[in-house]
């Protein structure tokens, strides 16, 4: 079921934001910048991304998801009235370092990923450990479509309709013990099908983690599809995590193991660069990345050379739903 609500409200653009007067009036400044190579480089980069996206055929989309019973989202404000990002953009501009570090690499290289058969192993501090096939997971709970804002640490964002169900449904099924405080997510690391596994960029396999209350929050989604279809390989097929109030790298793709533990997991980007990527990684516009500001973002699909940037929202706009999880925490220290 597709439901669109937003406690934050929907702000229609004013006419000056549709066609910027500043863009019109500053053409001479642009020409000067182009002469110096600054704007020319930016324009070339943007045009290159557009060309790559066009080169990847949209006809290669995977098949439709089988019809499944929909249920009303249990979270008021879980969905946004923002304009949904085009499928082409969402499926051709990705971070998935197992298939390359450039944003267009995954869409070009992820065809090698084998998604069937597939299983996810549940282990650690649970009463019902075991191996769940993809079919087992699909049958566990009715799926629904939720439109979530997604924010990347580099300053770009998307709005994507994901298909799945709250991770809490799986957690309740496997019955964690009282000692379990964290959930660790381990992703596939197969050098035969993932050409960049083994590179020195990260310590493989890619590992992410959540505190138990974060994992149990209804917004946290165990995800099998997007745009009403099965997940494309480059978007984390066949099953991934979606945590919409955190930066994108927390959303582990191609899950093969979920482990319940009493210790905070050592996560991939935190191990690679602890000074830049904290364990929590909540979207917080008041805390800059060491190399760039996080105060604004650029929506993919609206990112022409002169596109107006958006103000970054606390917790990516989901403060009403998740802010209470961090009451009393210093959010500049626990980044």
What is the reported pLDDT for 190?
97
Going through 198-306 in order, the beta strands assigned E by DSSP cover: 207-211, 221-226, 229-230, 240-242, 255-261, 296-299
Contacts of 194 (CB under 8 A, 6+ apart): 98, 99, 112, 113, 188
Q: Angle CA(167)–CA(228)–CA(165) in degrees, nearest 5?
A: 10
pLDDT per residue rounded down to tens, the chain (335 residues): 333 334 333 333 332 333 333 333 333 433 443 444 444 444 444 444 444 444 444 445 676 666 555 555 666 556 677 899 999 999 999 999 999 999 999 999 999 999 999 999 999 999 999 999 999 999 999 888 999 999 999 999 999 999 999 999 999 999 999 999 999 999 999 999 999 998 999 999 999 999 999 999 999 999 999 998 999 999 999 999 999 999 999 999 999 999 999 999 999 999 999 999 999 999 999 999 999 999 999 999 886 667 788 999 999 999 999 999 999 999 999 99
The span from the CA of 244 to the CA of 253, in Å, is: 14
- List beta partners, residue 183: 210, 260
Residue identified by tokens 């653009």 is 13
Confidence (pTM): 0.82
Classify domain 15-326 by CATH architecture: Alpha-Beta Complex (3.90)
What is the reported pLDDT for 69?
53
The answer to whether 151 touches 297, Cβ cutoff 8 Å, is yes
């Amino acid at each position: 079921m597709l439901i669109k609500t937003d406690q934050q409200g929907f702000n229609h653009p004013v006419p000056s934001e549709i066609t910027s007067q500043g863009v019109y009036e500053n053409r001479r400044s642009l020409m000067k910048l182009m002469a110096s190579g600054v704007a020319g480089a930016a324009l070339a980069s943007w045009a290159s991304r557009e060309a790559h996206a066009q080169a990847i055929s949209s006809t290669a989309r995977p098949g439709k998801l089988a019809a499944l019973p929909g249920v009303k989202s249990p979270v008021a404000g879980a969905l946004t009235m923002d304009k949904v990002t085009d499928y082409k953009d969402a499926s051709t501009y990705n971070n998935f370092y197992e298939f390359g570090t450039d944003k267009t690499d995954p869409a070009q290289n992820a065809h090698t990923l084998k998604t069937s058969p597939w299983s996810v192993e549940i282990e650690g501090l649970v009463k019902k450990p075991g191996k769940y096939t993809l079919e087992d997971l699909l049958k566990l709970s009715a799926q629904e479509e939720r439109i979530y804002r997604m924010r990347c640490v580099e300053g770009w964002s998307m709005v994507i309709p994901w298909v799945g169900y709250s991770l809490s449904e799986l957690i309740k099924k496997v019955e964690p013990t009282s000692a379990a405080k964290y959930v660790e997510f381990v992703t596939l690391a197969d050098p035969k099908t993932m050409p960049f596994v083994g590179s020195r960029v990260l310590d493989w396999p890619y590992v992410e983690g959540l505190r138990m209350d974060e994992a149990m929050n209804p917004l946290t989604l165990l995800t099998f599809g997007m745009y009403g279809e099965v997940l494309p390989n480059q978007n984390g097929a066949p099953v991934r995590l979606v945590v919409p109030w955190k930066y994108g790298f927390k959303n582990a793709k191609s899950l093969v193991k979920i482990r319940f533990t009493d210790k905070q997991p050592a996560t991939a980007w935190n191990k690679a660069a602890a000074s830049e990527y904290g364990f929590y990684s909540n979207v917080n516009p008041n805390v800059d990345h060491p190399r760039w500001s996080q105060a604004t973002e650029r929506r993919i699909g609206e990112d022409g050379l002169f596109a107006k940037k958006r103000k970054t929202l606390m917790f990516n706009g989901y403060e009403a739903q998740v802010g209470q999880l961090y009451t009393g925490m210093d959010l500049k220290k626990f980044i």
